[in-house]
Amino acid sequence: MSKSLFVDFMEKMLGFPLWIKQTIFLNLSKDLNTYLSNEFLDVEEGELFHVYDPELSELGQNELLTKESKFDESIYSFLNCCSKKMSLIEIAIENNFTMEEVSKAFTFCKTSGFFSKDVPKLVAAIAGFIAGKYRTGEYFIRAGKMTIEQLDEVLNKQQEMNNAGKHVFIAELMVQMGFVRELDVKSIIFMKEEAGKRFSLNPEEVPSITLEKENYDIRVENTKLKEENEILKQKMDALLTFIKDHKE
């Protein structure tokens, strides 16, 4: 199976010199820490939404083969990539989908029983939120960060404030009442905003050190040959001088 565009891109990135990778890492870490909570920075790979790779159930495989339900072609493109064991970010880049479009396809396929294994709750929660299926409060419940009772408290408080002529968003109240952190709210909202962006990738435009390394190897080899030739020349000159001296 051929590599996906994203895997090809990552392999080229990983081939960069250490000093380039370390500088990129430091700058990315500083950037990500400004708007993502530790929940999304320290999360296990299997629970990070965009690197999750869904596995098709028999029902999903049959639908891909027969197209019996006549779904939109984007669903079959999604299922086809799943059958190739691609992650969600690979699927997005391979088909020029936004992550919002991927989230909608993912949520639809999950509901339709097209996946063979249980989806981690954080992955399912993020997908549902980005797809517009869940609101902020329901996201935090499904992600295991809040209880239904706590959300009820927030809704009751919001109703009280509305009646008093004070309009406040549910997310603000969840933070004020200490049920979630402000950075947790900002993180998930920022992810939803970013999910609407389309990202096109051309690995050929990624800088590569392969050619430069080959040139370096050639230069090293040429230097060695020149040194060996010089040594050989000196030995030949010495031998000729020795023969000449002995003839005389």
Task: Round to whole Å and give the CA distance between 34 and 41.
Answer: 11
Same domain, 191 and 224: no
Phi then psi for residue 84, to 5 deg, are -95, 10
What is the pLDDT, as a whole number, of residue 56?
A: 96
Asked if the structure places residue 150 within a domain, the reply is no
Position 200, amino acid: S
Same domain, 30 and 74: yes
Asked if the structure places residue 152 within a domain, the reply is no
Task: Round to whole Å and give the CA distance between 173 and 179.
Answer: 9
Domain count, the chain: 2
Asked if the structure places residue 165 within a domain, the reply is no
Same domain, 197 and 248: no
Asked if the structure places residue 163 within a domain, the reply is no
Sign, CA dihedral 60-64-69-72, equals positive
Task: Round to whole Å and give the CA distance between 245 and 239.
Answer: 10
What is the pLDDT, as a whole number, of residue 92?
A: 94
Supply the DSSP symbol for 56. Answer: B
Name the helix (H) or strand (E) containing 49: none
Q: Write down the pTM of the prediction.
A: 0.75
Same domain, 193 and 241: no
Nearest to 240 by CA among 155, 92, 33, 232: 232
| Cα separation values, 37 from 40, 95, 184, 199, Å | 6, 29, 6, 23
| Residue 216's pLDDT band (cuts 50, 70, 90) | very low
Asked if the structure places residue 81 within a domain, the reply is yes
Task: Round to whole Å and give the CA distance between 213 and 225.
Answer: 18
Task: Round to whole Å and give the CA distance between 121 and 208.
Answer: 39
Task: Round to whole Å and give the CA distance between 39 and 184.
Answer: 8
Same domain, 18 and 113: yes
Asked if the structure places residue 187 within a domain, the reply is yes
Same domain, 33 and 52: yes
pLDDT (average), residues 10-32: 86
pLDDT (average), residues 171-176: 91
Same domain, 11 and 133: yes
Same domain, 123 and 13: yes
- 10 Å CB burial of residue 104 (0-12, 13-18, 19+) is buried
Asked if the structure places residue 170 within a domain, the reply is no
pLDDT digits (tens, 9 = 90+) for 74-129: 999 999 999 999 999 999 999 999 999 999 999 999 999 999 989 999 999 999 99
Same domain, 141 and 218: no
> What mean pLDDT value characterizes the chain?
83
Same domain, 124 and 73: yes
Contact in structure between 82 and 45 (CB atoms under 8 Å): no
What is the pLDDT, as a whole number, of residue 229?
A: 62
Task: Round to whole Å and give the CA distance between 95 and 75.
Answer: 11
Beta-carbon contacts of 102 under 8 Å, excluding residues fewer than 6 positions away, are: 78, 88, 91, 92
The residue among 211 and 139 whose pLDDT is bigger is: 139
Same domain, 29 and 43: yes
pLDDT (average), residues 18-24: 88
Contact in structure between 59 and 114 (CB atoms under 8 Å): yes
Q: What's the distance, Cα to Cα, between the start and end of the chain in Å? A: 75
Structure tokens at 48: 């990070």
Question: For the ranges 28-32, 80-84, 171-175, which has the lowest average pLDDT?
Answer: 28-32
Asked if the structure places residue 247 within a domain, the reply is yes
Contact in structure between 201 and 93 (CB atoms under 8 Å): yes
Same domain, 34 and 56: yes
Structure tokens at 61: 């495989």
Segments forming the whole domain that contains residue 192: 5-145+180-205
